[in-house]
């Protein structure tokens, strides 16, 4: 068992950040949130973090000439805070290899679909437009693609006949709040192994049973 030193990156209201902080407070997650970092000064999650005594920082991507330059600044800020694991929790930026190489195999993302279905933005609307009966959420390792990294775990959510994008999104978000802290605790327990790709299979994740 190890205590994770987390950096949580957000762009909005930070509800998944709150789920992490609640899990830590309830002793369901062995982690410390070392820093909450946003690309937007008006992100609501910053208010939640400050109210709970968590350090915050804002780095606007508009202040940097390139994605790589921005990611270099992100990395420096996270490292200075003592972060070793990074959670993208509603961070509306695609990170570059500069960022991923700084935290190899230690960047995870929460996405509101059952990947590989419906990557990118507006996943819930895509699910409704396609007429699927099961939607859900995915926690995965981040790679250089858009929501293409190895899947760690998923939770299914039924799509109801009268669902709107708003109602489906709310139920998926509730599932995210349970799934993300659970996966982080598996990582803290040493139960998550990232198996590199070989000539027969792409990179994948093995979840070990709790001892």
DSSP the chain: ---EEEEEEESS--HHHHHHHHHHHTTSS-EEEEEEEES-TT-HHHHHHHHTT--EEE--GGGSSSHHHHHHHHHHHHHHTT--EEEESS--SPPPHHHHHHSTT-EEEEESS-TTSS-SS-HHHHHHHHT-SEEEEEEEE--SSSS-SPEEEEEEEEPPTT--HHHHHHHHHHHHHHHHHHHHHHHHTT-EEEEPP-SSS--EEEEPPP-
Model pLDDT for residues 116-132, shown as the tens digit of each residue: 999 999 999 999 999 99
Q: Where are the domains of the chain?
A: 4-207
| Rg of the chain on CA atoms, in Å | 17
pLDDT computed for residue 211 by the predictor: 67
Residues that are catalytic: 111
Model pLDDT for residues 8-39, shown as the tens digit of each residue: 999 999 999 999 999 999 999 999 999 999 99
User: 3.60.110.10, 3.40.50.170, 3.40.47.40, 3.40.50.10190: which CATH number matches 4-207?
Assistant: 3.40.50.170
pLDDT computed for residue 210 by the predictor: 79
Q: pTM for the whole thing?
A: 0.95
Residue 199 pLDDT grade (very low, low, confident, very high; cuts 50, 70, 90): confident
Residues 61 and 94 sit within 8 Å (Cβ to Cβ): no
Side-chain half-sphere CA neighbours of 104 within 13 A: 3
**Backbone dihedral angles phi then psi of residue 157, each to the nearest 5 degrees:** -135, 125
């Amino acid at each position: 068992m190890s205590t994770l030193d987390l950096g949580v990156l957000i762009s909005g209201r930070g509800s998944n950040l709150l789920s992490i902080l609640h899990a830590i407070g309830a002793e369901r997650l062995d982690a410390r949130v070392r820093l909450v970092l946003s690309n937007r000064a008006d992100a609501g999650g910053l208010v939640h973090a400050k109210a709970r005594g968590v350090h915050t920082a804002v780095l606007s991507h508009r202040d940097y000439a390139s994605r790589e330059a921005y990611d270099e600044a992100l990395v420096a800020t996270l490292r200075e805070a003592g972060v070793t694991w990074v959670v993208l929790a509603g961070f509306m930026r695609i990170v570059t290899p500069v960022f991923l190489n700084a935290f190899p195999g230690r960047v995870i993302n929460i996405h509101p679909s059952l990947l590989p279905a419906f990557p990118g933005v507006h996943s819930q609307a895509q699910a409704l437009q396609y007429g699927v009966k099961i939607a859900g959420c995915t926690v995965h390792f981040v790679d250089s693609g858009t929501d293409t990294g190895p899947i760690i775990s998923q939770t299914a959510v039924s799509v109801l006949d009268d669902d709107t994008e708003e109602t489906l999104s709310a139920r998926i978000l509730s599932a995210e709040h349970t799934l993300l802290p659970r996966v982080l605790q598996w990582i803290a327990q040493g139960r998550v192994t990232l198996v590199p790709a070989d000539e027969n299979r792409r990179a994948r994740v093995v979840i070990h049973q709790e001892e």
